[in-house]
Chains A and B, each alone.
Chain A
Amino acid sequence: MTAPVSDRGRKAARLGLGLLLLAMALVAIALLSLTTGARAIPAETVWGALTAYDPASTEHRIIQDLRLPRTIVGLLVGAALGLAGAVLQGATRNPLADPSILGINAGAALAVVLGVAFFGMTQLSTYVWLAFIGAGAAMLVVYAVASLGREGATPVKLALAGAAITAVLQSIINAILLTSPRTLDEVRFWQVGSLAGRSIDIVFQVAPFLALGAVLALATARLLDGLSMGDDVARALGQRIGLSRGLAGLAAVILAGAATAAAGPIAFVGLTVPHVARAVTGPGYRWILPYSMVMAPILLLGADVVGRVISPPGEVQVGIVTAFIGAPFFIALVRRRKLAAL
């Protein structure tokens, strides 16, 4: 932001090139995701499964039924979480803001737990709608509570309301899980966050929401830049604070809700990727948002690939690996650089 005007173009070119390189890395990771798994399948067989599908071949079935859907889900969910995290941190100006802090994960989890415990729903495809509705409802309540009072939804009130709603929801979840081992047994696997077992139907269910959310999120970049100057400055510049926060919140809930619906609650990605993106791009959401959107699926899919091969013959869920790859990296980054405060 302090760079002289003459440097702006050079900076944009540099950041654009960086984004292109990241996109290429993402394509490479996606290809790796298709060719890597608990079962060794040669690359030409993978190609064959994509171009000339033979339902009689076990290998082709594994590519088409398992690896392709989980790769697509990984790309979509990763992008959504990265964007949602960046938008939420910008809108609340709190470095700790992420879907789990603002009640979205807990809302989704409670809806799934209620569905399993009282309506006998046990299949991933039914979880999707439940999780989406739960996430949306929780975020709405958080926003409504935070908006009460003269000042409207200030960052501190949003964060506190989110944490409070999360605690209420988590209490109900715990009460149900403690008294219904059957539900605990079902939900403990969903709660880790995983890309395994996601069918192509789930992609079709969540893709429209993710597209809508992504467009909305990218469109809020200028508003977030305004908010980052502080409410008073932004208001003085003629920005409508409440409307900006509302739009950003809407984008975040659509993205995070759909992502959680598809993959379960994955806490780490949305929280940390925006910090990494900000460390590369500097302030300015015009670049932070697209960087987060590309970096997050690299982390998510990369973690998923590692999880598939790390403990044969089983797999480690992606939610666990992202934390184990991401956290040390994140900690090192926090130590090395003076991260910009929000």
Chain B
Amino acid sequence: MSIALDTSRISRARSRAAARRHAVAGGLAAALVLGFAAALYLGDYPVPLDGVIRSLFSPLTGLTDRGIDFIVLQVRLPRAILALLSGAAFALAGIIFQTLLRNPLASPDIIGIAHGASAAAVFSIIILGWSGLSVSLGAFGGAVLTALAIYLLAWRNGVTAYRVVLIGIGMAAMLAAIISYLFTRARLNEVQQAMAWLVGSLNASRPGDIVVLGGAMLVLVPAMIALLRGLDAMELGDDTARALGARVEINRLGLMLVAVGFAAFATAAVGPVGFVAFVSGPLARALLKGAGRGFLHASLVGALVMLVSDLLAQHLLPNTQLPVGVVTGACGALFLLWLLMASGRSGRVN
């Protein structure tokens, strides 16, 4: 077998992988655009298609219709933007943790970070009687403190993925117990309010949330891309990575911080919306069929899952609007199940 033949085969495989990456990204982006348009058009308040378009351009054209503008610009648009941003942020948090900890179950909604945010939020709703923005701040603090605690507890001459995961689920169990305890000790209305927050909702999409989350992502995404180089070495395994020395440890810590940031900011904005963080990475990799790490694709998948779930949550049942978190679980999971059933090889769904 000649070397020339070999390199040409490799380069052909590479270009096939690149084509696949672009095709998947393009398909996801197209689906996102469609979903975004549907989110602006659909609703109980009747707005014709040209009304939506006129509203969107009204800041430029000056053609206003205050009733329609309120619905399109102040209700539907912020909601759709927040769905995109939070979906992407959850997805990135999930795929970073899953990759660093090398366990598909190790997404922030399973290893305790979402639990930290939730326990803090439920505590602030039920015991402190807070609501709105202060609950979001509490949730953010809870997520960051929990992540810090997990990391410090797992530290012992460095951290191993295995220790982080186990300590994370230990923390998750304790925090879940706090939530359950508060649930049994509160009035039903407060339990309902806390429950609604725990499921996660885009109903109260405030412009402030978009600014904060969007700003955070402007910092976090470039930081993630810069740190990702080190990740390639880490994926080879702890021992190999250790051989590369302390730089890898710093990279790992940096990436974890970035992932915690994604999870904490997204959770503060929309609540601990379930399963988006868990499912986006595996879905993206399944679509890519080994043609890449899938971080960009995972963020597109996360945004799409969130957007489609919110459309379904609002319009699936007549006369009942559900919070988005009810549907993300079902929507993301059905997609994952379909992939599991369709793929013959387990390695692809990992």
Answer whether A and B touch in the complex at a CB cut-off of 8 Å: yes
Residues on A close to B: CB < 8 A? Answer: 94-96, 101, 145-146, 148-151, 154, 156-157, 159-161, 163-165, 167-168, 170-172, 174-175, 177-179, 181, 184-185, 188-189, 191-193, 267-268, 271-272, 275, 316-317, 319-324, 326-328, 330-331, 334-335, 339, 341
Taking the closest CB of chain B, its distance from the CB of A271, in whole angstroms, is 7
Whether the pair A335, B163 counts as a contact (CB closer than 8 A) is yes
Give the interface segment out of B19-27, B174-182, B228-236: B174-182
Taking the closest CB of chain B, its distance from the CB of A189, in whole angstroms, is 6
Whether the pair A268, B336 counts as a contact (CB closer than 8 A) is no
Known: A167-B333, A335-B163. A160 touches B349 (CB 8 A): yes
List of A residues within 8 angstroms of B322 by Cβ: 175, 178-179
Q: How far is the CA of A133 from the CA of B66 in the complex (A)?
A: 54
List of B residues within 8 angstroms of A177 by Cβ: 195
Known: A188-B191, A189-B184, A334-B167. A149 touches B345 (CB 8 A): yes
Whether the pair B195, A178 counts as a contact (CB closer than 8 A) is yes
Instruction: Point out the residue from B162, B274, B336 that lies within 8 Å of A160, measured CB to CB.
Output: B336
Whether the pair B340, A161 counts as a contact (CB closer than 8 A) is yes
Whether the pair A149, B103 counts as a contact (CB closer than 8 A) is no
Is B188 an interface residue when CB atoms closer than 8 A count as contact? yes
Q: How far is the CA of A217 from the CA of B162 in the complex (A)?
A: 26
Whether the pair B329, A323 counts as a contact (CB closer than 8 A) is no
Instruction: Point out the residue from B183, B279, B337 that lies within 8 Å of A188, measured CB to CB.
Output: B183
Taking the closest CB of chain A, its distance from the CB of B201, in whole angstroms, is 10
Whether the pair B153, A165 counts as a contact (CB closer than 8 A) is no
Q: How far is the CA of A171 from the CA of B323 in the complex (A)?
A: 10
Q: How far is the CA of A157 from the CA of B320 in the complex (A)?
A: 35
List of B residues within 8 angstroms of A272 by Cβ: 170, 173
What are 25 inter-chain pairs, A to B, with CB distance below 8 A? A95-B165, A146-B340, A148-B340, A148-B341, A156-B350, A159-B105, A160-B336, A160-B340, A163-B105, A165-B333, A167-B329, A167-B332, A168-B333, A170-B329, A171-B333, A174-B326, A178-B195, A188-B183, A188-B191, A268-B177, A317-B181, A323-B177, A331-B167, A334-B154, A334-B170
Q: Which of B307-342 contact A (CB under 8 A)?
A: 320, 322-323, 325-330, 332-334, 336-337, 340-341
Is B199 an interface residue when CB atoms closer than 8 A count as contact? yes
Q: Across the two chains, which residue of chain A brings its CB closest to B317?
A: A175
Known: A156-B350, A178-B326, A192-B184. A150 touches B176 (CB 8 A): no
Interface centre among B326, B334, B343 (most CB of A within 10 A): B326
Whether the pair A172, B330 counts as a contact (CB closer than 8 A) is yes
Whether the pair B169, A96 counts as a contact (CB closer than 8 A) is yes
Known: A148-B340, A150-B344, A154-B346. A167 touches B275 (CB 8 A): yes
List of B residues within 8 angstroms of A327 by Cβ: 170-171, 173-174, 177
Q: Classify the secondary structure of B's interface with A.
A: helix
Is B78 an interface residue when CB atoms closer than 8 A count as contact? no
Considering only CB atoms and an 8 Å cut-off, how many residues of chain B contact the other chain?
58
Is B166 an interface residue when CB atoms closer than 8 A count as contact? yes
Instruction: Point out the residue from A145, A170, A275, A330 that lies within 8 Å of B274, measured CB to CB.
Output: A170
Q: Across the two chains, which residue of chain B brings its CB closest to A175?
A: B326
Is B35 an interface residue when CB atoms closer than 8 A count as contact? no
Whether the pair A184, B162 counts as a contact (CB closer than 8 A) is no
Whether the pair A275, B330 counts as a contact (CB closer than 8 A) is no
Taking the closest CB of chain A, its distance from the CB of B93, in whole angstroms, is 16
Q: How far is the CA of A339 from the CA of B156 in the complex (A)?
A: 13
Interface centre among B195, B279, B332, B337 (most CB of A within 10 A): B337
Instruction: Point out the residue from A149, A160, A179, A275 that lies within 8 Å of B282, measured CB to CB.
Output: A160
Whether the pair B171, A185 counts as a contact (CB closer than 8 A) is no
Is B73 an interface residue when CB atoms closer than 8 A count as contact? no
List of B residues within 8 angstroms of A165 by Cβ: 333, 337
Interface string of B91-122 (1 = CB under 8 A from A): 00000000000011110001000000000000
Whether the pair A94, B180 counts as a contact (CB closer than 8 A) is no
Taking the closest CB of chain A, its distance from the CB of B86, in whole angstroms, is 17
Taking the closest CB of chain B, its distance from the CB of A44, in whole angstroms, is 34
Interface centre among B174, B177, B333 (most CB of A within 10 A): B177
Whether the pair A174, B333 counts as a contact (CB closer than 8 A) is no
Given pairs A159-B104, A160-B340, A327-B170, 14 additional interface contacts (CB within 8 A):
A145-B337, A164-B336, A170-B329, A181-B188, A188-B180, A188-B184, A191-B183, A271-B169, A275-B166, A319-B180, A327-B173, A328-B170, A334-B167, A335-B154
List of B residues within 8 angstroms of A149 by Cβ: 340-341, 343-346
Is B90 an interface residue when CB atoms closer than 8 A count as contact? no
Q: Across the two chains, which residue of chain A brings its CB closest to B177?
A: A323
4 closest A-B pairs (Cβ-Cβ)? A323-B177, A171-B329, A167-B329, A171-B330
Q: How far is the CA of A138 from the CA of B135 in the complex (A)?
A: 34
Whether the pair A96, B345 counts as a contact (CB closer than 8 A) is no
Whether the pair B104, A156 counts as a contact (CB closer than 8 A) is yes
Is B278 an interface residue when CB atoms closer than 8 A count as contact? yes
Is B196 an interface residue when CB atoms closer than 8 A count as contact? yes
